[in-house]
Amino acid sequence: MEQELRDLYQELILDHVRHPRNFHEMADATRTVEGHNPLCGDHLRLFVKLEAGRIADVSFVGEGCAISTASASLLTEALKGKTVEEAETLLSKMVELLTASEAPTDPMALGKLGVLAGVRDYPSRVKCAMLPWRTLEAALSDDAPAAISTE
């Protein structure tokens, strides 16, 4: 029991919950998107500063469960300095990691982000991990909406 739960709430995840990285507003962000999960009330605001096709800076604020907070924090860490193209590739890999019917063969190929793979055993929690990534998807699209929500 303890071990199963520890597979979900790994130390790395708990560290990001207790000390979320890049957890602040950004006055000079070029894209700001609200992500909202109406079913559980999780919401976050993702700030992205795009410069010449590169994510010069990314941050978030908001309120959510451990899984969505850690997912958002890990996202900001992974994306800083990446090109939009690299970010989109990472996004599709994360979607696959969290939602594909086949279990990932090597979750750690995604580095730290692989710790989120544990959520696959908790179907009702997948949307928590997905929220920051869906919000990123919206922020990177050319006609970025002001807000998105996930079910």
Partner 1 sequence: MNAPQCVTTWDVEAVRADFPILAQTVHGKPLAYLDNAATTQKPNAVIDAIAHFYRHDNANIHRGVHALAERATIAYEAAREAARRFLNARSANEIVFVRGTTEAINLVAASFGARFQPGDEVIVTAMEHHANIVPWQLVQARTGIVLKVIPMDESGALQTEQLAALITPRTRLVAVTHVSNALGTINPVAELIAIAHQHGVPVLVDGAQAVPHMPVDVQALDADFYCFSGHKLFGPTGIGVLYCKAELLESMPPYQGGGDMIRTVSFEKSTFAPPPQRFEAGTPHIAGAIGLKAAIEYLERLDRLAALRYEQELLAYATERLQTVPGLKIVGTAPEKAAVVSFTIDGIHPHDLGTIVDRYGVAIRVGHHCAMPVMTFFGVPATARASFAFYNTFAEIDQLTDALHRARDLLV
- Shortest CA distance to 139 belongs to which of 26, 20, 17, 39? 26
Considering the complex, state which of residue 31 and residue 45 has its C-beta at the smaller distance from partner 1: 45
| Least distance in angstroms from the C-beta of 2 to partner 1 | 8
Considering the complex, state which of residue 23 and residue 122 has its C-beta at the smaller distance from partner 1: 122
Tell me the residue type at 9. Y
Strand, coil or helix: what is 73? helix
| Contacting positions for partner 1 (CB under 8 A) | 1-2, 4-6, 8-9, 14, 17, 39-43, 63-67, 69, 122, 124-125, 128
- Which DSSP category does 19 fall into? S
| Least distance in angstroms from the C-beta of 41 to partner 1 | 4
Considering the complex, state which of residue 86 and residue 122 has its C-beta at the smaller distance from partner 1: 122
Sort residue 62 into left (φ over 0), alpha (ψ -120 to 50) or beta.
left
